[in-house]
Structure 1
Amino acid sequence: MATSFQLRKFRDEDSEAVQEIFTDGMSEHVPSSFMHILKQPPTQMVLMCVFCALMTSSKSFLLPILAVTLLLAAIRQLVVHMFKAYIDVSLKKDLHNISETYLKQKDSCFWVAEMDGRIVGTVACLPNENVPEALELKRMSVRRSHRGMGIAKALCRTVADFTRDRGFAAVVLYTSVVQKEAQHLYEHLGYEKTKEFAAPEFFAKIVNFTLFEYRLQFKKED
């Protein structure tokens, strides 16, 4: 079945839908982030030490199993808290007044993908202080129910066209180790991974929660 969507600039009445798409999209990463943390050697060592220590002292399986279960629940809750904190900060900053942040500033813009009168995807760009020759792609998200329709690719290409038309040499973006689908999309569109670094939070550094910088460099003849 053919699918039809249109891309357009953000309007103020889109704000609630945009915030919903962003919140849902970020919340999707909680399970994969939790699994990533469980696979890290420091996490496994702590769980094993707790289990063995309680096993030795209590001479019972029940207490160490209960303790490890509670520890796992605490780790997952910490992941939920970290994502919620990031979502809350974002909703209070650039996503609180999208027009002011993106549409009224130089070399910035915010687009939405609309299908059957419903906002189903978002993307934005703005100057990057650390990479002055590039614009940064931000807030790329598509509703889970509307993925696989080419919406994400169209949103990314819109940012690339906008950036190139304004004379910038590249598009940069940042994504995390757990966002596998996003990494595949960007690499398919010609982005190259240029940097890897740990997220700034202390807990993120301990569990090796890596962030990636991707760059789409425009050719001179483009």
Structure 2
Amino acid sequence: MANYAIRVYRNRDYNAVRMLFAEGMMEHFPATCAYLLKLPRIQFVLFISFITLILISRSYLLSLVSLAIAFTAGRRLLLSEFHQYVDECQREDLLDIEESYMASNNSCFWVAESNGRVVGMVGVQSAQRSSEVMELRRLSVAKDWRHNGIARTLCLKVIDFASQRGYKVVKLETSMIQIAAHKLYETLGFLKTDTRIFPSLLGRFANFYVMTYEYMIKD
């Protein structure tokens, strides 16, 4: 069994936590690319573009090269969206983790540590406009430390924290491509309660959605 310990966040973990979050988010980039390429509307646009290029240039080679250039440009645009999202998160709650999670009795942040290395993390905050709901945030586990029960243990830590403070619900959001995360949450007893399109031009075009899961804490 893997040797790790769950403990409360310390200031010395700052850089490791931010890096772990960024690495975890960027891992979803290939799966997002694959999802987009499978969309009928994307395939239709590529097909029409290819036919149009052939009619204009009358060259299969030039058309293929032009399509490859367009594909590369699209990939870079998507990659830029990922980097922008990571940057936004690191300018929000992850900019000052101590203030965001450790300054209140109704919020906290934990890390999983092994041999001095941060290999997992999760945060929890009281939801805005609700005294009964807590939000599970920033759950991430290093790629080489997955399948050791760390994510499950961190989720249970959040549920126990919320329960001890009298909260009724633990809520979280996750994207449609995070299949392994969906299975974990459902195994723990979370129920999917909402689905919404990601609020960006690409999100609306690709029908890329974000799901809300909720765990009802038993009295």
Gaps of at least 5 residues in structure 2 are none
203-212 or 58-67, which deviates more: 58-67
Q: Which amino acid aligns with 1:194?
A: T
Residue number in structure 2 paired with 1:203: 202
1:131–1:18 CA distance, 2 compared to 1 (3 A): same
The 5 Å alignment of 1:40-79 reads 40-79=39-78
1:130 positional shift: 5.9
Given that 1:177 and 1:211 are in contact with CA atoms closer than 8 Å, whether structure 2 keeps it comes out as yes
Which residue pairs with 2:174 in the alignment? 175
Return closer, same or farther for 1:204/1:132 CA change in 2, 3 Å cut-off: farther
Judging changes above 3 Å, is the alpha-carbon distance between structure 1 residues 131 and 65 closer, same or farther for their aligned structure 2 residues?
farther
- Superposed, which structure 2 residues align to 1:74-89 within 5 Å? 74-89=73-88
SS where residue 200 of structure 1 aligns? Answer: coil
1:54 Cα deviation from its structure 2 partner: 1.0
Superimposed CA distance per residue, residues 11-49 of structure 1 (whole angstroms, 9 cap, x where no aligned partner)? 000001101110110010110111111112221121111
CA distance in 2 between counterparts of 1:30 and 1:130 reads 33
Q: Note the C-alpha offset of 1:116.
A: 1.4
The 1:198–1:131 alpha-carbon spacing in structure 2 relative to 1, beyond 3 Å, is farther
Trace 1:111-190 onto structure 2 (pairs within 5 A).
111-129=110-128, 132-190=131-189
Q: How many matched pairs?
A: 219
After superposition, the C-alpha distances for 1:81-110 in whole angstroms (9 at most, x for unaligned) are: 111001111112211110111000341110
| Secondary structure, counterpart of 1:36 in structure 2 | helix
Q: Alignment partner of 2:194: what SS? A: strand
Q: What secondary structure sits across from 1:168 in the alignment? A: coil
Give CA-to-partner distance per residue, 1:93-139, whole Å, 9 cap, x none: 21111011100034111000011121110000102226552100000
Q: Tell me how far apart the structure 2 counterparts of residues 95 and 7 of structure 1 sit (CA, whole Å).
A: 19
Relative distance call for 1:203 and 1:113 in structure 2 (3 A) is same
How far, CA to CA, are the matches of 1:80 and 1:215 in structure 2?
Answer: 30
Q: Give the TM-score normalised by the residue count of structure 2.
A: 0.96
Instruction: Kindly report structure 1 stretches of 4+ aligned residues shifted beyond 6 Å.
Output: none
- Matched with 1:22 is 21
- Partner secondary structure for residue 95 of structure 2: coil
Cα distance in 2, alignment partners of residues 132 and 63 from structure 1? 61
Matched residues in 2 for 1:155 and 1:106: separation?
18
Alpha-carbon distance between aligned partners in 1 of 2:62 and 2:69, rounded to the nearest angstrom: 11
Segments of 5+ residues of structure 1 without an aligned counterpart are none
CA contact (8 A) 1:40 1:208 kept: no
- Output the CA distance in 2 between the equivalents of 1:132 and 1:52: 57
CA distance in 2, matches of 1:132, 1:179: 29
1:11 match: 10
Aligned-pair Cα RMSD in Å: 1.2
Q: Percent same amino acid at aligned positions?
A: 37
